């Protein structure tokens, strides 16, 4: 996996992110002191779960020859009582039976980002200069 690098961008809170040769921005909403020029870190976290879920469903359905034309995954994150609460909605489009839909719902919980978020996480931080 490629490393993610973040550094200051323009404005009060914008961050310039680099992953390999890909560059994008993160920022906070104007109401939270940012300029609103990119998704917030929490929105990127939601995007990671949404993308991983739909990728996992696409791979599984392909291996099982299911007629899944699309999986639209919507993730919302709220913080309450120091707990991040993720709401994930999955819309399955295609010629699928109830049993296939149920299995795909189970598979959604097996995406690597879902597993990371519900499992134990360790973060090692070190100063390098």
- The H-or-E segment that residue 37 falls in is none
> Rounded mean pLDDT of 27-38?
97
Give the whole-number percent of the chain exceeding pLDDT 90: 99
User: DSSP states of 53-106 as a string?
Assistant: HHHHHHHHHHHTT-EEEEEEEEEEEEEETTEEEEEEEEEEEEE--HHHHHHHHH
> Rounded mean pLDDT of 21-27?
98
**Which tens digits make up the pLDDT trace of 64-118?**
999 999 999 999 999 899 999 999 999 999 999 999 999 999 999 999 999 999 9
Average pLDDT, the chain: 97
> Rounded mean pLDDT of 52-58?
98
pLDDT at 127: 97
pLDDT at 117: 95
Give the whole-number percent of the chain exceeding pLDDT 70: 100
| Cα dihedral: 94, 97, 102, 107 (round 10) | -50
Cβ neighbour number for residue 54 with a 10 Å cutoff: 18
């Amino acid at each position: 996996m490629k490393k993610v690098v973040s550094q200051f961008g323009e404005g009060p809170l914008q961050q310039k992110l680099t992953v390999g040769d890909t560059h994008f921005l993160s920022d906070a909403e104007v109401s939270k002191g940012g300029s609103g020029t990119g998704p917030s870190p929490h929105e990127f976290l939601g995007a990671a779960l949404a993308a991983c879920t739909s990728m996992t469903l696409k791979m599984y359905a392909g291996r099982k020859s299911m007629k899944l034309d699309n999986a639209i995954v919507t993730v919302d994150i709220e913080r309450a009582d120091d707990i991040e609460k993720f709401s994930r909605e999955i819309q399955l489009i295609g010629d699928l039976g109830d049993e296939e839909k149920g299995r795909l719902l189970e598979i959604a919980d097996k995406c690597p980002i879902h597993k990371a978020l519900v499992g134990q996480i360790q973060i090692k931080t070190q100063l390098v200069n």
